Structure 1
Amino acid sequence: MDKIDRIKAALNSEEVDYVPSNIWMHYSAADQDPRTLAEAQTEFAQKYNFDFIKLMPFGLYGVQDYGAKVKIFNKVNEPPIVADYGIHEIDDWGKIDVLPGYYGTFGKQVQLAQHTAKLTQGKIPFIQTIFSPLTNARKLAGDRILWDMKENPKLVKQALQAITETTINFVKANIEAGVHGFFFATQCANYDFLTEEEYLEFGQYYDLQVINAYKDVTYFNVAHIHGDNVMFDLIEKYPVNCINWHDRWTSISLTEARKRTDKCLLGGIREVPYYNQKNEVIRESLLVSGTVSEVEEHVIEAIDEVGGRGLIIGPGCCSDQLSTEKNIFAVRRGIYNSSLVKLS
């Protein structure tokens, strides 16, 4: 099986020679230049023989063109942060217009896809990271968006529609660049931020417009549900063929998720540190602090949870950039050493 066949088989819950995998993380020392980032991600995937690439544009690429001031550090484990929001008062939502997919910072991420297509030469699937319209709106305004949604929902929805159409333009440009799918991330579909009724009104309506723009065009389409207390049952019904969430530290495990959906599950690796009851870090993430045997057992356990079918091994979100080489290799060893390996 080549990487494309292996990914397609996993997406369709068909038999694989071994469970496909990938580890992704931010490249905060290299993600401001699309060619450098494409080279770093392709080299990483080839070094560890991963089965796909999740493109990792910096997390604020969707709001810089809308006026958010972004502070960039260009250092390992120091991703860009919002230095000043683009929305300061409610009337600012009315200034949000539809942008071309090739414009500004969006355009640099299209270049990232173009460079990756050249480097991979059709031998490894790669998917572009996109954020839900409400997620970008929240990054643009901060949590004041909650007040604005109540004070003038019509104006906020007008802005969300513009962001939606910009995202669709970006999607189309990435399809032209050769991506095989999209990693659609929502950071707002959790009950700690919104009620389900609020998410249906301000989130899902716009999410589905974006996903419907590519669902019948690309074959590898992931929905990522960020945070704790997530709306799994709501997002699982989206027209995607793969679901990713923090399965190792939220209440919905791989085993429970398999009972709720027959879609491919992407996860199995705990990407965050371990905390005590006081929310103090007592141990760094497994890929940083674990032993090789611990990582291998961690991966084998995940594979066993779902019988190895309809599964792609990966983190619940971005892994620590200080993840060790031995532990990243141990992820592959765990897959190879699982009872389900059928290498010819």
Structure 2
Amino acid sequence: MTLTATERIRMVLRGEQADRIPFSFWTHLPHVDLDPLKLAEETYEFYRRFRLDFIKNMPNGMFFVEDYGCQCDFSEIPNGGVAKITKFAVEKPEDWLVLTEPDVKKGALGRELLSIAHLLGKTKEEVPVLLTIFSPLTIAHKLCGSLMLEHLRNHPDKLKAGLDRIARTTAAFAQEALRKGCAGVFFANQMATSEMVTEAEYKEFGVPYDLQVLEAIQPYSWFNVVHIHGTNIYHHLMVDYPVQAINWHIWETEPKLQDFVQAAPDKIIVGGIQRSNITNGSIDEIIKEIQEVSRVTVGNRIILTPGCVIRYPVEETVLQQVSNEIIQHSKVVFRQSNTNSQMTQQ
């Protein structure tokens, strides 16, 4: 019997082996990501074309700061560029105290909820859809750029007031999407690294507000992924977060895969493929990564994905080959794993 993507993911979350190792990948869709209906349509076609086991929605990277008053320049998007902030919403420490709390059903946030609703109408629960959100400290950094670190170190109480407001809005936005049928969130964290803040600073300005969001969505979700971006990450601060899965740049930064398996046996690993190998079309390297991840995890509690978004533009013939190879090789791994298990029992 062929499993649906939702059935396959649910089995993995229960610690069971499905018919194969599930997988997914994602990339930006800058030519349509300001049009909610076109974004939903292309996202659905992307999922169908490559037979993904979960969908991470891909809004433009500035969607969460538009409603706070940031002015964004999207003019380079049609040529493959990225959105840029031309005016920050927070320019002085006192601005955190009066930071607006947007109505999540209107403006840019409302636009993304419309896109999600349209996407969910097409998937009909056959595949889990994850809503992309950012950690509060990541959003704060987007709201004022490099000034945030000066505010964090010299005006901590003002920044904390802003973080509390951001966390409330983030939770409210996520709850709306989850009520519409999203399985959970993809919680993108770009600040939990020594390249941005110290560990003590992240404990004080990151962890409490992350938990404020994640705890608020627990009654509505069943598949939440924390993405820890970058290198030299504070992964040990997040192994006890109330989420089912952790995604990071495996092979590029600590923790080592085996160490994480031992340190967080209750968490699903989402990752295992370096996105640069997809961009470069290094299929042989991808196969080696699949085999090594499968060996370490014994094919359990693993969802194969890149460590981060595949850079735009993507070569779709490569993605199709990656999809085919993952399906083929993960089935082989499962057959070998089951054979070895049976021999051990005998």
Q: Is the TM-score greater than 0.5? A: yes
| Cα distance between partner residues in 2 of 1:287 and 1:323 | 9
Equivalent positions of 1:43-192 (< 5 A) are 43-72=45-74, 73-75=76-78, 77-192=80-195
| Cα distance between partner residues in 2 of 1:5 and 1:215 | 20
SS in 2 for 1:214: helix
What do the CA deviations read for 1:292-320 (whole angstroms, capped 9, x no partner)? 44433333333223211100011111102
Partner of 2:340: none
| Cα distance between partner residues in 2 of 1:292 and 1:24 | 17
Partner of 1:34: 36
RMSD value, Cα: 1.7
Match of 1:227 among 201, 211, 230: 230
Structure-2 change in CA distance of 1:77 and 1:314 (3 Å):
farther
Partner of 2:255: 252
Quote the offset at 1:186 in angstroms.
1.2
Contact 2:291 2:333 in 1 (8 A): no
| Cα distance between partner residues in 2 of 1:83 and 1:58 | 15
| Cα distance between partner residues in 1 of 2:279 and 2:334 | 26
Quote the offset at 1:342 in angstroms.
4.8
| Cα distance between partner residues in 2 of 1:86 and 1:194 | 21
- 1:186 partner letter: N
TM-score (norm 1): 0.91
What do the CA deviations read for 1:24-73 (whole angstroms, capped 9, x no partner)? 11111111111111111110110111111001111111111111111113
| Cα distance between partner residues in 2 of 1:89 and 1:217 | 36
Quote the offset at 1:177 in angstroms.
1.9
Partner of 2:299: 308
- 1:188 partner letter: M
| Cα distance between partner residues in 2 of 1:211 and 1:150 | 25
Percent sequence identity is 33
SS in 2 for 1:101: coil
Quote the offset at 1:121 in angstroms.
1.4
Equivalent positions of 1:256-267 (< 5 A) are 256-262=259-265, 263-267=267-271
Structure-2 change in CA distance of 1:342 and 1:111 (3 Å):
farther
Equivalent positions of 1:229-244 (< 5 A) are 229-244=232-247
Contact 1:171 1:213 in 2 (8 A): no
TM-score (norm 2): 0.91
What do the CA deviations read for 1:112-136 (whole angstroms, capped 9, x no partner)? 1101111111211101001111110
Contact 2:290 2:329 in 1 (8 A): no
Partner of 1:340: 333
User: How many residue pairs are counted as aligned between the two chains?
Assistant: 330
Structure-2 change in CA distance of 1:136 and 1:42 (3 Å):
same
| Cα distance between partner residues in 2 of 1:139 and 1:232 | 22
Farther-moved stretch of structure 1 (328-337 vs 136-145): 328-337
Partner of 1:323: 314
SS in 2 for 1:184: strand
Structure-2 change in CA distance of 1:54 and 1:86 (3 Å):
same
Contact 2:175 2:220 in 1 (8 A): no
Contact 1:6 1:17 in 2 (8 A): yes
Contact 1:295 1:327 in 2 (8 A): no
